[in-house]
Structure 1
Amino acid sequence: MLVRHLSFFVTLAREQHFARAADACNVTQSTLSAALRKLEEDLQVPLVVRNQRFVGLTVEGEHLLAWARQILADYDGLRDDLSGLRAGLSGTLRLGVVPAAMGTVGVLSTFFRKAHPEALIEIRSLSSRDIQKGLDDFELEAGLTYLENEPLERVRRIPLYHERYILAMRADHPLAARETVTWAEAVTQTLCLLSPDMQNRRILDNLAESLSLRLRPAVVSNSFLGICAHLRQGGFAAIVPHGFRHLFGGTDELAMRDLVEPAHRQAVGLVLSDREPLPPMASALLRVVLRADLGSAAGPTADVFGPSVH
């Protein structure tokens, strides 16, 4: 059985179309079909439900898909590992990050690039559920997400910092002159929040409910860029992680005030697939996190990364 054949099979499962899969693999459709038939002969089971077009995978095909993804990931990891022994780590670190952590991910990237200057970093803004899927499907090496609320499965967790919450608004907002704002006051404002498919929003909803309050946002977005655009327009306020200060602060136009009563904290950290050996990129990132003094490197975000790293 050739690794190439498994790659063709995984591509077909992703594209769900013979012609598109052949194009993605840079082979003819007849070559793709011959490789799949050879795979079925080697394993002595049918893998693909065939008709005039792709219909789906058989039960055996679904089982092979999970194995094939792991085999291909391990094969790529082996090649990267051996190559790294000769010339240093290269390739791409694929990192899934929840939107709420985008303001702090640069600290990790900076340390990783210093340790491995030949490596590239691909950062994807994803929900926590998509990070779980990416790790399970071997499409990500690591994720930066919440650790306590809706924890991911089959992962090892490395705490990095505790997220706190602030009320962001334009400087001419009535609450901008305050030192702090209570949650009871915040929920009465014209709010722009993340959409419910984002875990940050579900955390906020649960926290408000525990205080016998309810969030009724006028605008929702799956991007903090969309939230910032509304804040700058005026008339809106947003409950955001304190890392928002680093990402969108540095201007007199926006005011950001700590939310109190209560001053809630939520653990955020790195997640990696719970398997051995780890892929070279994931293993390298773990070593960087465990060895680096992230807090001192954070500069303006020193209140974000702290001694909780271990």
Structure 2
Amino acid sequence: MLDKLEMFIAVAKIEHFGKAAEHLGITQPTLSTGIKTLEDQLGVKLVFRGSRYGGLTPEGQSALAWARRIVGDARQLRDEMRFKKHGLAGQLRIAVIPTALTWAAQLTAKFTEKHPKVRFTLLSRTSIEILSMMDNLDVDAGITYLDNEPTGKVSTEPLYREHYMLVCRKDSPFAGRDSVGWKELEGEKLCLLTPENQNRRIINRHFREAGVTPDAWIESDSTVVLVANVEDSSNWLTILPADLAIFLSRGKELDLVPLTGTSTGPLVGLVAPYREPHTPILQALLGAARRMSCVD
């Protein structure tokens, strides 16, 4: 039944039989037969379907929560057995908000020094996507904001608080200053992350608190693109968390100026699906995050 539950989860997530089959590496008839077999075993219809996918039935919605739990437990059992035989080994998939990628690199580097048999896949995603991917068992953990928007029932380990820097060229009027206020950026040409990123929503809130509407001339889901645009023109400015700003500006003709006049920055940390106990590899990862945290 486990393979049928995997098929059901894939269909519910992708909402298309053909694409779900492709994702699983099987044929569409095999997928359809698997879903029908699962329905026969459970005695209920799980999916509305005619010529195409029509959504989950009410019974399917309830079954999806069970399917995720059962498949998650099965993967946990596999990881437990691997640990008993080989120690900490395997693959960890972590989705990370774009502004926390440098912290993700630090965490994985420290972890693999101690546990060299563990491999990582790091994916840049929005905070909403991270929670969805954990629900769908597409990733094992995430690095995201902890206190700005709801995260649901997850295990958390705080890593740091975001503090913002204005990134400008060295020939910008703002260069060389000790600080700059949010209100001073009214009317300036800004390069900012796209609105689906929680970082952008936080930055918009800081502008609103200062009585300013940000003028975003360039939007991107890549912080590298934001910095590249600033580097190319003295007219552009961007705003990034301090650690990421320092990393992306290294070796470039750019200046970083602290932004002032805001309350305590948002908390960012490691999140993992809530389970007691966690798998040994996730427990070790949460412990590593706890040791490198700089939150008081």
Query: Who is 1:299 aligned against?
Result: none
Cα gap change, 1:184 to 1:278, in 2 (>3 Å): same
Instruction: Please name the residue that 1:74 is paired with.
Output: 73
Structure 1, residues 60-116: CA drift from partner, whole Å, max 9, x if none? 222212211221121112111111111122222111111111232211111221232
Q: What is the match of residue 40 of structure 1?
A: 39
State the AA in 2 paired with 1:187: E
Residue 225 of structure 2 corresponds to which residue in structure 1?
A: 226
After superposing the two structures, state which structure 1 stretch, 56-65 or 163-172, moved more: 56-65
- Matched residues in 2 for 1:217 and 1:184: separation? 15
Which residue number corresponds to residue 288 of structure 1?
A: 288
Label 1:67 to 1:259 Cα distance change in 2 as closer, same or farther (>3 A). Answer: same
For structure 1, the 5+ residue unaligned runs are 295-304
Output aligned runs, 1:101-112, within 5 Å.
101-112=100-111
How far apart are the structure 2 equivalents of 1:283 and 1:79? 15
What pairs with 1:44-123 in structure 2 (closer than 5 Å)? 44-123=43-122
Counterpart position of 2:143: 144
Corresponding residue number in structure 2 for 1:248: 248
* CA 220–32 in structure 1, closer or farther in 2 if over 3 Å, else same: closer
Determine the C-alpha separation between the residues in 2 that align with 1:15 and 1:3: 19
How far residue 55 of structure 1 moved from its aligned partner, in angstroms, is: 3.6
Q: 2:96–2:124: 8 Å Cα contact kept in structure 1?
A: yes
**For residues 307 and 128 of structure 1, do their structure 2 counterparts lie closer, same or farther at Cα, with a shift above 3 Å needed?**
closer
What amino acid is aligned across from residue 274 of structure 1 in structure 2?
Answer: Y
2 CA distance for matches of 1:29 and 1:16?
A: 13
Per-residue CA distance 1:163-218 (angstroms, 9 max, x = gap)? 11111011111111222222222334221111221111111111121222221222
Given residue 131 of structure 2, which amino acid in structure 1 is its aligned partner?
Q
1:138 alignment partner AA: L
CA apart distance, 1:248: 0.8
Partner secondary structure for residue 7 of structure 1: helix
Structure 2: 5+ residue stretches without partners: none
- Equivalent residue, structure 2, for 1:238: 238
State the one-letter code of the partner of 1:118.
K
TM-score by length of 1: 0.86
C-alpha separation in 2, matches of 1:8 and 1:154: 25
Report the residue type matching 2:294 in the other structure: G
Q: Structure 2 counterpart of 1:141, which letter?
A: D
Give the deviation of 1:3 after TM superposition: 1.1
Secondary structure of the 1:143 match is strand
Once the two structures are overlaid, the 10-residue window that deviates more, 96-105 or 15-24, is 15-24
Distance 2:3 2:252 in 1: 56
2:192 alignment partner, SS class: strand
SS at match of 1:243: helix
> How many pairs were matched up?
295
- Confirm or deny that 1:153 pairs with 2:156: no
Q: Give the structure 2 partner of residue 297 of structure 1.
A: none
TM-aligned CA distance change 1:175 to 1:60, over 3 Å: same
Secondary structure of the 2:102 match is: coil
Partner amino acid, structure 2, of 1:47? L
Tell me, yes or no, if the aligned pair for 1:92 and 1:281 is still in contact at 8 Å: no
Residue 222 of structure 2 aligns with an amino acid whose one-letter code is S
Contact 1:181–1:257 under 8 Å retained in 2: yes
**Does the 8 A contact of 2:162 with 2:266 survive in 1?**
yes
- Do the aligned residues in 1 keep the contact of 2:182 with 2:206 (CA within 8 Å)? no
Q: Contact 1:141–1:279 at 8 Å: present in 2 too? A: no
Encode CA deviations 1:231-252: one digit per residue, 9 max, x unaligned: 1111201121101233213224
Contact 1:74/1:279, CA 8 A, preserved across alignment: no
Q: Is the 8 A contact 1:135 1:272 kept in 2?
A: yes
Query: 1:278 aligned to 2:278?
Result: yes
SS at match of 2:240: strand
What is the DSSP-based 3-state SS (H/G/I as helix, E as strand, rest coil) of the residue aligned with 1:149?
A: coil
Residues 51 and 197 of structure 1: is their aligned pair in 2 closer, same or farther, counting only changes over 3 Å? closer
